[in-house]
Structure 1
C-alpha cells in the first residue's frame, strides 16, 4: 500500500472512531456541539456539552487502552488546550462553563472507553 493509501485509510478510521465516540457520549446525555474543530493552533476531535459542563475530547483508535493513552503527547495536549481556549472565548456564556479534557479510546471489539479528565490544562483557562 502506498503512503497516500495508508493516510486515506487512517483518515477514514479516524472519522469512524470519532463517530462511535460521539455516539457513546450522546448515550451518556451529552450533546455534540463540534466535530473536528480546527484552528491555526490545533484541532479538537469532539466538543460535547451537558448543562454547563464542556468536554474537550481527544479520540484515539488503538489496540489497547494503554496505547491510546500513550498516544496523547504533551505537545498534543498543548495544541488541544490552545484550540479549546479559542473555542471557549467565542462562547457567549463562557464565564459559567466548566471545561474538562477527556479521551475516548476506540478499542477492537469493545464499547468505547471514556476516560474523564485525561489531562489537566497547563495554563489557567479563560475566566
Structure 2
C-alpha cells in the first residue's frame, strides 16, 4: 500500500513537471522563440527546453514552485553544471554552432500565474 502511494506521488510530480514545461514553452513561443528541443538528455545532464530566437540559443531550466524566489533558488550549482555540460553536447552537434550565442535562462512556473522568464540566469 505504501509503495503504491509513493508511485502515485511520483507520477503526480512527473505530470506536474511536464505541464510546467509545456506552460513555459508556450510562454517562450509567445515571446518569439522557436522551441528546438524539450527534455534534451545526454549522459552529462538534461536541458528542459532549448529555444531559439535568431542566432540566440536559450537553454531553459523550468521550475514549478509556489513563488518566483523558490523557483530561482531551486536551480543548484550542480544542476547548472549539468545543464552547461548538456548544452555543450547539443551545441557541438549543430551545423551552425559557430554563429550561435548561448544563454542560460530559468522559467518559473507558479500556480495561477503566468510563467516568469528570467533571462541570463546563470
TM-score, normalised relative to structure 1:
0.92
Post-superposition Cα deviations, 1:83-118, rounded to whole Å, max 9, x if no partner, equal: 000000000000110100000000111110000011
Q: Which runs of 5+ in 2 are unaligned?
A: none
User: Larger % of helix: which?
Assistant: 2
> Where in structure 1 do 4 or more consecutive aligned residues deviate above 3 Å?
none
Cα offset, 1:7, TM superposition: 0.8
SS at match of 2:95: coil
Residue 113 of structure 1: aligned partner:
116
Structural RMSD (CA): 0.8
Cα offset, 1:5, TM superposition: 1.0
Determine if the alignment matches structure 1 residue 55 to structure 2 residue 54: no
Residue 125 of structure 1: aligned partner:
none
TM-score, normalised relative to structure 2:
0.96
> Among residues 1, 9, 13, which one is paired with 1:10 in the alignment?
13
